[in-house]
């Protein structure tokens, strides 16, 4: 993919944005998610599913399941993966933006 197309994809999938996609396949290091971009996959690394505890393969979402996640980065080395995070705390912040007061020091 050329850099112009990659930059367009990054502008479409902004950091902090909530996205949904179908689980396409799972690997020991993460779950690949089909998003609305044919040449790019979402990748949720295994540590990015739970706030606490350890995730095992029995907990992976089933293939074809629609899941939500938040864009947290891009694989600049291959320009084919958008890094996603599905931790409950991250999803909550993306879906329920709170206006927190600024604390005076």
Closest CA to 19 of 68, 66, 75: 68
Which residue in the block uniquely carries the two structure tokens 């689980």? 23
Burial class from Cβ neighbours inside 10 Å (0-12, 13-18, 19+) for residue 34 reads middle
Q: Look up the CATH number of the domain holding residue 49.
A: 2.40.50.140
67: in domain: yes
The pLDDT tens digits along the chain (105 residues) read 677 889 999 999 999 999 999 999 999 999 999 998 888 999 999 999 999 998 888 899 999 999 999 999 999 998 899 999 999 988 888 877 666 666 665
How many separate domains does the chain show?
1
105: in domain: no
Closest CA to 62 of 31, 19, 20, 18: 31
**Element holding 74 (H helix, E strand):** strand 66-74
104: in domain: no
The Cα 72–Cα 14 span in angstroms is 8
Closest CA to 91 of 50, 62, 45, 43: 50
| pTM of structure | 0.85
pLDDT at position 61 is 93
44: in domain: yes
103: in domain: no
pLDDT at position 92 is 84
Domain that holds residue 38: 3-95
83: in domain: yes
100: in domain: no
102: in domain: no
pLDDT at position 60 is 92
pLDDT at position 22 is 96
The Cα 31–Cα 84 span in angstroms is 10
């Amino acid at each position: 993919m050329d850099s112009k197309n990659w930059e367009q994809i990054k502008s479409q999938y902004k950091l902090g944005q909530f996205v949904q996609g179908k689980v396409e396949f799972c690997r020991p290091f993460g779950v690949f998610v089909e998003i609305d971009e044919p040449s790019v996959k979402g990748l949720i690394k295994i540590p990015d599913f739970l706030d606490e505890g350890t995730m095992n393969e029995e907990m992976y979402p089933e293939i074809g399941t629609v899941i939500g996640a938040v864009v947290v980065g891009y694989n600049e080395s291959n320009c084919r993966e958008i890094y996603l995070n599905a931790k409950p705390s991250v999803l909550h912040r993306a879906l329920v933006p709170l206006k927190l007061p600024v604390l005076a020091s």
